[in-house]
Amino acid sequence: MNSREKILQAVKLAQPEVLPLPTALETPTVYSDPVVKFTEVAQAVGSSVIEVNSLEAIEDHLKEVYLPELQKKWQASGKLRVVSTSVGFENFAEQIDSSDIDPHTFQDVEVAIMKADLGVAENSALWVPETIIRVLPFICQHLILLVDKKTIVSNMHQAYERMGLGQDDYGAFIAGPSKTADIEQSLVLGAHGPRSLWIYLIGDVE
């Protein structure tokens, strides 16, 4: 008997009679304004949130506020490598459209711009499906996520209900910049992944 059969047989012998699965939660908390809650929680976990009404507004904000602030705060000098898997930022970002690129070549990316499918108000998590380069939202120094305001749900139950079984080969809920408190419980942003996360909440596009 191989280990697979051995384990399965041992488990079969040991497990009790089948117990029922519970039903879904009756009334999980929902928020009257999920966007407000989302913003509050996102800021509490170290993200920055900007509400905008058009892609042009994002571009303007990125050029006029985000990049200058980034350079000042993180003392980033010289030309920053900015990449995007989302179309519309060709003016100042390298457009990534081929998954055949070796992921290691993204190790010098300063800023990555990507889209999230939905957001969750209770914990500010954004669902980021695999977008061309799996490692991109982790390997960049700073991450920018764009999300449609209308996709913000209240809680994780609603999120999975909307996502169903999913079509993505890989995907991650991302809530805030990478962080650690392993040294004496002192919170430090920027453990291995991005040092900062900016979220653009896109409202009704005019």
Q: Which of residues 142-201 bind another protein (CB under 8 A)?
A: 155-157, 159-161, 163-166, 168-186, 188, 190-194
| 15 versus 32: smaller Cβ distance to another protein | 15
φ, ψ of residue 80 in degrees (nearest 5) = -90, 140
Kindly identify the residues of this chain, within the stretch 17-36, that bind another protein according to CB under 8 A.
17-22, 24-29
Rounded to the nearest whole angstrom, what is the least distance from the CB of residue 57 to another protein in the complex? 27
Residues whose CB falls within 8 Å of the CB of residue 189, separated by 6 or more in sequence, listed in order? 46, 177, 178, 179, 195, 196
Among 10, 36, 65, 205, binds another protein (CB under 8 A): 10
Kindly identify the residues of this chain, within the stretch 94-123, that bind another protein according to CB under 8 A.
99-100, 103-104, 107, 120, 122-123
- Candidates 110, 165, 101; CA nearest to 131 is 101
Residue 77 as a binder of another protein (CB under 8 A): the answer is no
Using DSSP, state whether 52 is helix, strand or coil. Answer: strand
| 92 versus 160: smaller Cβ distance to another protein | 160
**Residue 195 near residue 143 (C-beta atoms within 8 A):** no
Rounded to the nearest whole angstrom, what is the least distance from the CB of residue 60 to another protein in the complex? 29
| 52 versus 197: smaller Cβ distance to another protein | 197
Which residues on adjacent β-strands are paired with residue 142? 111, 196
Among 134, 148, 149, 203, binds another protein (CB under 8 A): 134
How many CA atoms does the CB half-sphere of 103 hold within 13 Å?
A: 11
Q: How many residues bind another protein (CB under 8 A)?
A: 76
Among 139, 145, 152, 202, binds another protein (CB under 8 A): 139
**CA pair distance 110, 76, nearest whole angstrom:** 9
**CA pair distance 177, 108, nearest whole angstrom:** 18
Among 86, 124, 131, 196, binds another protein (CB under 8 A): 124
